[in-house]
Amino acid sequence: MEERVYNFSAGPACLPIEVLKQAQKDFISYGASGMNVMEMSHRSAEYQDIIDTAEADLRELLNIPDSYDVLFLQGGASMQFCMVPMNLMTKYKKIHAVNTGQWSKKAIAEAKKFGEVNVVASSEDKTFSYIPELSADMFTPDADYVHITSNNTIYGTKYTKLPPVGGLPLVSDMSSCILSEVFNVSDYALIYAGAQKNIGPAGVTIVIVRKDLVENAPEDIPTMLRYKTHADNGSMFNTPPTYAIYIAGLVFKNLKKLGGVAEMEKINKEKAAMLYEFLDNSSLFRATVSGADRSMMNVPFVTGDADLDKEFVAEAKKAGLVNLKGHRSVGGMRASIYNAMPMDGVRSLIAFMAEFEAKHK
Amino acid sequence: MEERVYNFSAGPACLPIEVLKQAQKDFISYGASGMNVMEMSHRSAEYQDIIDTAEADLRELLNIPDSYDVLFLQGGASMQFCMVPMNLMTKYKKIHAVNTGQWSKKAIAEAKKFGEVNVVASSEDKTFSYIPELSADMFTPDADYVHITSNNTIYGTKYTKLPPVGGLPLVSDMSSCILSEVFNVSDYALIYAGAQKNIGPAGVTIVIVRKDLVENAPEDIPTMLRYKTHADNGSMFNTPPTYAIYIAGLVFKNLKKLGGVAEMEKINKEKAAMLYEFLDNSSLFRATVSGADRSMMNVPFVTGDADLDKEFVAEAKKAGLVNLKGHRSVGGMRASIYNAMPMDGVRSLIAFMAEFEAKHK
């Protein structure tokens, strides 16, 4: 077998090797079809089964109530930054939002094109290294919804409790944490996630949205940007990103086989705890986020010396531990340890860091 | 090797076997990267090379002038139905359009959300079985652009000459004919094409657009729907559909190796001529389109007996000739013979039709 690396990319990110092997096996002919899934008509019975199974497995994994639509869309989270307000910012033309990083900011900037955005809290003062304290009085009822980013890929923070939004619909960008731990879909009005972190290849975006909100969205927006267009057509109003959905489906099957999201959460907790424990005890490295808001998926860390950081990233790459460079706005390093990063990948990273630390005492 | 079928699907459609084999070989590790292309960060040097090479090869294949941007977008042609008017229907808030089929109609309906659409001609009277005669006086200068659908996938027609649009910008949906024959990009202001017919997997849409039009488009439209957003960022404003672009790149490389678009055109002409000749001489089958407007890519045909059509489609499938059912609005059969359909596929289809005809004399 070809040599694989441990890929700590923030996204697109590593996929389970079992999924890749299965897709490789079926590359010239999927089952008895005589063709690759990407050559299949999306109107064929064979492809209908692939997308139906993917949706059913995702519903099972996240325990999604029937009162929610599950949509496979295109355009990434960035497209949701306009689709969400176009469909949902309709009555008050105002929303509340929490600013916890670059993606929150982009979502806020885009929503401002469609109405008023009340930023109730921000952690920008400390390079987004924490989740701001939120209180019920921030969320006045004169808003169409509240927007948050559940896990902040760049800064390595995550919400550990629900914002006290009262009766307001809660909308979350879960691109970098969906399927990583158990949560209650019913706590949200709409959840969106680009696939390229915990789901599958870039090019498919999953939207889980309350059916009543889909029904009540305005009719005069562009056809492709209306959730109802896609909900009414089982995500096949036009040709969906068929292959990306197929790979996502394989990831769902693989996760079910592993025991589902609860089991994955245990593994993720263990992986993250191991890495944070090392960082907290290191004399050379330190995590940039402290306390309860630490992400289980994205772990930024620094040595405090930019040149040494650079050396670490370069040496790690030589050792087969790749994409560890941090985002320029935080600097240093970042290890993204999504569902598909094996425990052994985290162990190898820690062993390498210990070795590097010993060398640079 | 697994058994392959001849897949006459209208899209997603068959891909060159050489492309599939290459991608399969690189599935566990692309070159020395230690990962699949779909696991690569889109910000990595390795992926940058993949997208840059894909763009350069497409520019070479279509001889695209430097004054045009080449964009890799998401959402299919359907998303272009709103993006084109949002970006280009800005001065007169009026366009001219020709109605040559279901996709033209959808483009027209969507454009109406943004201004006036003057339908200069339509072939709906005869189930879109021809391209209407167009004259210069139809295209009054009080319009932002003219919209056409160069090849009509469902009905099997194509334009054989440019509409006499005078100085107006010409916009064309080339989803089902791009790269099938030589054409002059400079005759168009904007060309768009969903990938899933002649380019690659569903999930990437190619837009070739004059740079001055990109620059002059309004700023207040949603960020993701502005061509300038993507042009300014080399199609990487956000994560692009990385794997679909990679496969498209392999298709471009393969086409270059075959001799480019001019060589492909010769092969396509031969494939189509062979099939139409058989149909014109058959005592059982007939093509639904006659004369000069016949598509080289999509060939609808009927026996005149709906039950017999059904039997033909079923029997053909058993013989490994699949997806020959025609669109419900035309009925009968349709053979889509895109670039990736080998000559032997068309020969096998003709041989099977001859056999079927002999049996049903």
Residues of B in contact with A220 (CB under 8 A): 113
Q: Is A69 labelled as part of a ligand binding site? A: no
Whether the predicted pLDDT of B272 surpasses 60: yes
Distance from CA of B74 to the nearest CA of A (A): 6
- Residue B79 to residue A224, Cβ atoms within 8 A: yes
Q: Which helix (H) or strand (E) holds A106?
A: helix A102-111
What are the phi and psi torsion angles at A95 (to 5°)? -135, 165
Smallest CA–CA distance from A103 into chain B, residue = B238
pLDDT given at position A1:
45
Q: Which residues lie closer than 8 Å to A25 by C-beta, 6 or more apart?
A: none
Q: Which residues lie closer than 8 Å to B38 by C-beta, 6 or more apart?
A: A12, A15, A200, A201, A202, A247, B242, B243, B246
B170-220 pLDDT, tens digit per residue, is 999 999 999 999 999 999 999 999 999 999 999 999 999 999 999 999 999
Whether the predicted pLDDT of B285 surpasses 80: yes
pLDDT given at position B1:
45
pLDDT given at position A291:
87
Other beta carbons less than 10 A from residue B89's beta carbon: 23
B63-90 pLDDT, tens digit per residue, is 999 999 999 999 999 999 999 999 999 9
What are the phi and psi torsion angles at A99 (to 5°)? -100, 100
What is the mean pLDDT for each group of 10 consecutive residues in chain A (361 residues)? Answer: 87 98 97 97 96 98 98 98 98 98 98 98 96 97 98 97 97 98 98 97 98 95 98 97 98 98 98 98 96 96 97 98 94 97 98 97 80
Tokens for B110, please give them: 């969507």
pLDDT given at position A2:
57
Classify residue A67 by its DSSP letter.
T
Compare CB distances from A201 to B15, B23, B38 and report the shortest one's residue: B38
Q: Is A238 labelled as part of a ligand binding site? A: yes
pLDDT given at position B76:
98
Residues of A in contact with B41 (CB under 8 A): 9-12, 323
Whether the predicted pLDDT of B156 surpasses 60: yes
* Confidence check on the interface: ipTM exceeds 0.85, yes or no: yes
Distance from CA of B203 to the nearest CA of A (A): 4
- Residue A82 to residue B10, Cβ atoms within 8 A: no
Q: Is A80 labelled as part of a ligand binding site? A: no
List the single best residue of B74, B313, B322 to mutate versus A (max A Cβ within 10 A).
B74
Q: What is the CATH number of domain B260-359?
A: 3.90.1150.10
Q: Which active-site residues of B does the annotation give?
A: 103, 173, 197
Percent of chain B, pLDDT > 90?
A: 98
Domain boundaries, chain B: 18-258, 260-359
- C-alpha span between A166 and A147 (Å, rounded): 13
Mean pLDDT calculated for residue range B351-358: 98
pLDDT given at position A290:
86
Residues of A in contact with B75 (CB under 8 A): 74-75, 79, 224
Q: What is the CATH number of domain A18-258?
A: 3.40.640.10
pLDDT given at position B2:
57
Mean pLDDT calculated for residue range B332-345: 98
Question: Minimal CA–CA distance to A96: which of A152, A139, A151, A159?
Answer: A139
